[in-house]
């Protein structure tokens, strides 16, 4: 078990989702997840900080990609184009494996208050990281907040469509953000 396990992470996620299905999230211990995956508990903790992280892992990588996507957009581009760069940058993480696990993962989270809070916090974290990246490009605070929250709406829409129909996530995200932008531009205020 001490040897390198190239697909340890995926195996742990699959084992965890199987066990959460069979006996519930609350009734499953990290040791059981590791055992089901044919790995040790210490391998588990090399990949995930605690039990719930098996559902939220890869967050640091996503944050890095979002920030790099914004930084990689030409300085002349507006904040929404930079947000599009961020969404396109994370497309590499939207693998078939992730898509296959998606619906079960969402079902486990939806059924547990603590996990739903963790999920809300994760999205809030992405949002604040992207806003900071835009502020560093000189985008005014309110513009950054608006562009990022529209990006988050597009991300949610794109994720749902991609889970359902698959395809290239970058393309799905681009289309969703474009629809969001058109809707936002057409909104009327009160008289």
Does the footprint of a second copy cover residue 120 (CB under 8 A)? yes
Nearer to a second copy, 92 or 124 (CB): 124
Smallest gap from Cβ 146 to a second copy, in A, equals: 5
Positions 133 through 172 that interact with a second copy (CB under 8 A): 142-143, 145-147, 149-150, 152-153, 156-157
The correct pick among 25, 44, 79, 86 for binding a second copy (CB under 8 A) is 79
Hey, what's the torsion of the CAs at 113, 119, 122, 123, to 10 degrees? -120
The correct pick among 99, 104, 135, 181 for binding a second copy (CB under 8 A) is 181
The correct pick among 30, 67, 71, 81 for binding a second copy (CB under 8 A) is 81
- The tally of CA atoms less than 13 A away on the side-chain side of residue 52 is 13
Q: How far is CA 22 from the centre of its chain?
A: 25
Span interacting with a second copy, options 13-21, 27-35, 74-82, 101-109, rule CB under 8 A: 74-82
**Gap between the Cα atoms of 70 and 130, Å rounded:** 8
Does the footprint of a second copy cover residue 179 (CB under 8 A)? yes
Smallest gap from Cβ 63 to a second copy, in A, equals: 16
Return left, alpha or beta for 189; rule: phi > 0 is left, psi -120 to 50 is alpha, else beta.
beta
Nearer to a second copy, 100 or 120 (CB): 120
Rg of the chain in Å (alpha carbons): 19
**Gap between the Cα atoms of 119 and 59, Å rounded:** 11
Residue 126 near residue 62 (C-beta atoms within 8 A)? yes
Q: Which long-range contacts (C-beta less than 8 Å, at least 24 apart) are formed by 67-70?
A: 67/129, 67/130, 67/133, 70/130, 70/133, 70/134, 70/137
Does the footprint of a second copy cover residue 49 (CB under 8 A)? no
**Gap between the Cα atoms of 61 and 23, Å rounded:** 30
Give the count of residues interacting with a second copy (CB under 8 A): 39
Does the footprint of a second copy cover residue 53 (CB under 8 A)? no
Q: List contacts with a second copy (CB under 8 A).
A: 77-81, 84-85, 116-118, 120-121, 123-124, 142-143, 145-147, 149-150, 152-153, 156-157, 174, 177-181, 183-185, 187-191
């Amino acid at each position: 078990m001490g040897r390198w396990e190239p697909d340890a992470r995926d195996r742990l996620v699959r084992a965890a989702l199987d066990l959460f299905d069979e006996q519930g999230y609350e009734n499953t211990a990290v040791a059981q997840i590791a055992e089901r995956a044919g790995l040790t508990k210490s391998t588990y903790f090399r990949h995930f900080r605690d039990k719930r992280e098996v559902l939220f892992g890869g967050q640091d990588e996503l944050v890095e990609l979002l920030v790099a996507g914004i930084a990689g957009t030409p300085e002349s581009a507006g904040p929404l184009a930079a947000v599009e760069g961020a969404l396109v940058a994370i497309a590499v993480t939207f693998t078939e494996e992730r898509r296959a696990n998606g619906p079960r993962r969402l079902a486990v989270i939806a059924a547990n208050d603590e996990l739903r809070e963790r999920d809300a916090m994760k999205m809030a974290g992405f949002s604040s990281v992207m806003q900071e990246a835009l502020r560093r490009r000189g985008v005014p605070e309110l513009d950054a907040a608006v562009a990022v929250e529209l990006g988050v709406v597009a991300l949610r829409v794109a994720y749902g469509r991609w889970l359902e129909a698959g395809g290239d996530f970058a393309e799905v995200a681009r289309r969703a953000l474009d629809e969001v932008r058109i809707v936002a531009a057409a909104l009327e205020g009160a008289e």
